[in-house]
Amino acid sequence: MATTNNKKKTTTEKQGVNWAPGMPFGKINYILMLVGIVLLAIGYILLSGGGTDDPSQFSEAIFDTRRLTVAPIVLTLGFVVEFLAIMLKFNNKEKEETPSVEVK
């Protein structure tokens, strides 16, 4: 009579969680993070300026469309991209699965 080896699975094996020893994010996540950082830098550059050399004079340049509309939109897009880069988990096709060995 052959006996079967009924090995109890741990919680992580039951749920299919793979703990990768490498980086916490995938390649796509890091690319999105860099894109978000670039968008944030561009937004802050667009937001700057509008001052005058003489503090006693008022400059209308602070009410420019670039500073009031374009820069906040670019900054918001940058923060959304950063949020998505951190929160989304992309399925990497390059994942190496550990081979399962059956004991008979």
Question: Three-class SS string for the chain?
Answer: CCCCCCCCCCHHHHHCCCCCCCCCCCHHHHHHHHHHHHHHHHHHHHHCCCCCCCCCCCCHHHHCHHHHHHHHHHHHHHHHHHHHHHHCCCCCCCCCCCCCCCCC
pLDDT band at 89 (very low <50, low <70, confident <90, very high): confident
pTM score: 0.64
What is the chain's mean pLDDT, rounded?
79
Q: What is the mean pLDDT of residues 9-15?
A: 54
Q: Does residue 41 sit within a domain?
A: yes
Q: Which of 79, 80, 96 is nearest to 19 (CA)?
A: 96
Q: Does residue 103 sit within a domain?
A: no
Look at the chain and report how many structural domains it folds into. 1
Q: What is the mean pLDDT of residues 86-91?
A: 85
Q: What is the mean pLDDT of residues 29-50?
A: 94
Q: Does residue 28 sit within a domain?
A: yes
Q: Tell me: pLDDT of 47 over 70.
A: yes
Q: Does residue 77 sit within a domain?
A: yes
- Structural domain including 82 reads 22-87
Beta carbons of 31 and 84 less than 8 angstroms apart: no
